[in-house]
Amino acid sequence: MMKRQSGFTLIELVVVIVILGILAVTAAPRFLSLQGDARGASLQGLKGAIDGAAGIVYGKAAVEGLETASTATDVSAGGTTISTIYGYPTANAAGIGAAVTGLDTDWAVAASVADTSISYGFVGNPSATCSVTYTQATSSAPASSSVDESGC
């Protein structure tokens, strides 16, 4: 008596492949949005770096008695000269650009308003609607930063 071989028929294999295709199509949109999430997380990380650097520079300026200087004043921190106003980095390359290591090489300026704010976005595609904006200090408000993820 011969033993009969068992296995899958061609129809069964086709049905399994079709089911896997349907599952892949329904799951694909979930994975495609991960790029936007990654961009948002990168921007949040940049915001943290900017806030941290601004706080450290303010501390250094306060130690030197420059936290009330209403004109641009240079502060030396970690061997780097940083332009400050009211103790916080100014909103330009000599200020916040110098305070955050790698800011001008890893990110691109998306928008800039002289003596007010500067926005950094992704290199190759800097967009003001997918960026971190640093607003320099004024006599009535400390420096601040915000994230705009609407265009990511």
pLDDT in tens, 130-146: 999 999 999 999 999 99
Dist CA 69 CA 27 (whole Å): 56
Q: Given this model, what pLDDT does residue 52 score?
A: 95
CA distances from residue 103 to 34, 62, 123 in whole angstroms, order as listed: 24, 24, 11
Q: How does residue 36 score in pLDDT terms, banded at 50, 70 and 90?
A: confident
130 in Cβ contact with 43 (< 8 Å):
yes
Dist CA 44 CA 41 (whole Å): 5
pLDDT above 90: residue 92:
yes
Q: What is the mean pLDDT of the chain?
A: 89
State the average pLDDT over residues 10-25: 89
pLDDT in tens, 51-83: 999 999 999 999 999 999 888 888 887 788 999
Closest CA to 129 of 111, 151, 114: 151
pLDDT above 80: residue 124:
yes
75 in Cβ contact with 89 (< 8 Å):
no
Q: How does residue 3 score in pLDDT terms, banded at 50, 70 and 90?
A: low
Count Cβ atoms within 10 A of the Cβ of residue 100 and give its class: 0-12 exposed, 13-18 middle, 19 or more buried: buried
Dist CA 6 CA 19 (whole Å): 22
Closest CA to 120 of 129, 133, 106: 133
83 in Cβ contact with 93 (< 8 Å):
no
Give pTM, 2 decimals.
0.77
146 in Cβ contact with 152 (< 8 Å):
no
Dist CA 63 CA 14 (whole Å): 73
pLDDT above 70: residue 2:
no
Q: Given this model, what pLDDT does residue 59 score?
A: 93
pLDDT above 70: residue 93:
yes
Percent of the chain residues topping a pLDDT of 70: 96
